[in-house]
Every structure is written in structure tokens, then in C-alpha cells.
Amino acid sequence: MFALLDANNFYVSCERTFRPSLLGRPVVVLSNNDGCAVSRSNEAKALGVAMGAPWFQIQRELPDAGIVALSANYPLYGDMSSRMTALAAGLGPEIEVYSIDETFVSMAGVRGDWAARGHVLRERILQWLGLPVGIGFGPTKTLAKLANHVAKSADRKPGSYPAQHARVCNLVALSEAERAAVLDATPLGDVWGIGRKLSAQLQEAGLRTALDVARMDPAMVRRRWSVVVERTVHELQGQPCIALENAPPPKREIACTRSFGHPVRTGRELAEAVSDFASRASEKLRRQNGHAGQVLTFIQTSPFRRQDRQYSRSITLPLRRPTADSAAIVATAVQGLRAIFKPGFNYAKAGVMLLDLVPATLEQGELDLDSEGADRAGLMTAMDKLNDRYGRGTVALASAGIATQKRRWTMKQSLRTPDYTTRWSDLPIARA
């Protein structure tokens, strides 16, 4: 038995908490480089702004709609997220933080009226954080997700589901027939695990709703599609196949990739960017106390610039031994870049991925002939501590590249709001 709690329009809602004047207005939060709309208020959705729509297109198509756009402010969203998660944890004995705005809660052994508890929690999150959330309960994670979808839809689009399900929906409390009716009112594309491609294929096969999918024969589904889809069918039938992951396993790969604010043509600038990405990825790696075995570097032009010649390549190089040392990782990433870089292109994006991750404790012993290695780990720890305390980039390795000119490739964020909750100088001031 599971609950899924999920914030409505999370990024936009976080911004509204600190700028109430945005309530009731069409608002979008943009991806890095102020590229695409990645969070939309209900008013923006009602105007037809699609998820992932490029901002320049929105402006062109709806110049007079009064849409407010904001650059993504991840420190703010991350902080609001952990506050919300802490409150959600009160619902049941165990939780899984599934994403920045979604938390699964195990309801095992929880007695009483779940929907009533859900409404209380919902009110509290709204009052304390200003965040509207939807809560769904179901016998499996897939059904809890579906219930959550029902809760939000019944709230936002009256008539899509019975009004009793608005904001909080408990599928567990429904009769067999009532649950079937809810599934039958749900297009199969809205089911967790059924994306665009699969949706099209299932519709081709004559299916329309979540109920149709739930009634398929799992063995046939496995033969015709895959075990993944088979699991979804079982889960829709109420048979749990996906467990709660209370303690998430360490990451198997770590990436840092960015689109550039301006096209980049020179190897020097690319090397600067790749060095920066590699050292940020190394920081993430040390945070999970891991070592990487391989480093992947990629660069690519923009597929949207049809007039440009296109080029896209990646290369994976092994590290001499698994490590989390920024210098070694940066050097390897740049070495990879040298191997794949070709002049004469407008590069739009680059990235570094760390692969073959292992726990740092599994480090293979090695005779330390150059007597340098011993202090490296300590140096990295010291660097991380300084950067944690005084802000990213306070100290860096010279080998990671020092910008000698303005970094034109860094991303655009012209519509950023303050770090209201994570920076002393940005704290809002209440006036009587």
C-alpha cells in the first residue's frame, strides 16, 4: 500500500510563495539558458503553453498573454523540496523521495481514514510552505501514481473525474466497480511507464484506457513488448512489482552537461567548459563517496540550427585507476576532448559523464611511487569543505583551467529570482 504526494506545478508554486503577486497569473519557469518552459501554472496551461515549449516560440505565439517567465532557481526549489518531504514523511512509516517534487510513502500498517489524513497533510503543506499538492493512495506504486493523477485532474479539470477525488484520491477505499470506472476514465498515456511510443503502439492494438491495459494478459504483453510493460500491467491489476526504495542505491553514473549560452567554436573554450563540467562531476562523485573507472566526454552542434554543418561525437577513456581526484578526471576529460574535437563547427553543447562507479572503499591498493597520491584525497576533502562553506568555485585546481577571458559559453539566466531561503543576503524582509 502506497501514497504518492506530488506538488502542483512545483517550480512555479515555489516562486509564488515568495511573490504572491504571481498567483492567478500565467507563469512559466524556464530551463537552463532560459530555453524551454519546464513548469507552468494552471493559467499558462490553459493558454495552451506546452511542456518543454521553447520560450522564444511562446513569446512569438502569445505576445499579449501577459505570461511571466522566470529562470530556474534550483537552490530555492531544492530547499523547498526538502521542507515538503519532511512534512510528507508524517503520513506513513517509510518514504521514498522519488524526485524533487514527488514522494512515495509506504502506508503499511497505517490505520484510520487515509483520505482524511491526506487532507490534513495537504492543508498543512499549503499553509506552511504555500505549496499546493495532490495525494493519491493505491495498492501499488503505479496505482498510487494514477490516484495522484486523478486527484490533480479532478481538481483542475472539473468533470474529468468525480469531484470527491479532487486533491486527495484513495483508490484503496473504492469498490472493484468504482476503481474500474476510474481506470476507464484514464487515457492509457497517463499511466506511469507508458510513454509516447508505447502509447501509440497500444492504441494501434485497439486499447484506449488504463482499464484496457489492466485487462491485458501479462504473458502476452511480455512476448509482444517487454518485461517492463508486463510489470506495469501487473501493477495496474493491483499486484505490486515495484518496491519502495527507502534508501536509494548510489548512482551508477554521474553527469554534468550543459548547453552553451552562445555557440562555441574554439578548442580553448571547449576545454574550459569540459574542465569545468569534469570538476563539478567529480564533486558530485565525492559527495556519494565513490570512485569512477571511466570518463566520457561529448561535444555536439545544435540540431536546431539546420543551416549549420552538424557534428556530434563522444569518447570514453579509462582512468589509470578508479579515482575521485578532480585533477585526474579533468585531465582525462580534456584528453578525450582533444581526440574528438574538430575545428570549424558551431558547438552548442558539451558534457562529461563519470562511468563504472564503485564505492571509494573498494579502492585498489597501489604502491605509491610518486608519493603524491596520499595527500590528494585530503586535498579534495579540504576543497569541497571550502566550496561548501563559501560557495561554489571559491577554490579550484589550476589544472581545471582558469578563465582568462569572459566565459561566453556559460548559460543565460536573465530572469532569476533571489535565493530566498538559502542565502542570508536574499532573505525576504517582513514589514508590519
List residues binding DNA (CB under 7 A).
31-33, 35-36, 38, 52, 54, 56-57, 60, 98-102, 145, 191-199, 226-228, 251-259, 263, 284, 302, 304-305, 316, 348-349, 351, 353, 411
Dist. CA 153–CA 415, nearest whole Å: 30
Q: 68 vs 117, which CB is nearer to DNA?
A: 68
Q: How far is the CB of 198 from DNA (least distance, A)?
A: 3
Would you give the end-to-end CA distance of the chain in angstroms? 47
Which neighbouring-strand residues pair with 39? 29
Q: How far is the CB of 409 from DNA (least distance, A)?
A: 10
Which neighbouring-strand residues pair with 70? 29
Q: 144 vs 271, which CB is nearer to DNA?
A: 144
Q: 304 vs 424, which CB is nearer to DNA?
A: 304
Q: 355 vs 379, which CB is nearer to DNA?
A: 355
Q: How far is the CB of 237 from DNA (least distance, A)?
A: 18
Dist. CA 408–CA 416, nearest whole Å: 18
Q: 313 vs 338, which CB is nearer to DNA?
A: 313
Q: How far is the CB of 427 from DNA (least distance, A)?
A: 27
Lateral strand order in the sheet of 37-40: 37-40, 27-30, 68-71
Q: How far is the CB of 400 from DNA (least distance, A)?
A: 16
Q: How far is the CB of 356 from DNA (least distance, A)?
A: 8
Q: 117 vs 409, which CB is nearer to DNA?
A: 409
Which neighbouring-strand residues pair with 359? 290
Phi-psi region of 15 (alpha: psi -120 to 50; beta: other; left: phi over 0): alpha
Q: How far is the CB of 226 from DNA (least distance, A)?
A: 4
Q: 313 vs 342, which CB is nearer to DNA?
A: 313
Position 188, amino acid? L
Asked if 10 and 101 touch (Cβ cutoff 8 Å), the reply is yes
DSSP state of 219: H
Contacting residues for 278 by C-beta, under 8 A, at least 6 apart: 256, 295, 297, 326, 329, 330, 332, 333, 334, 352, 400
- The secondary element (H helix, E strand) that includes residue 117 is helix 114-129
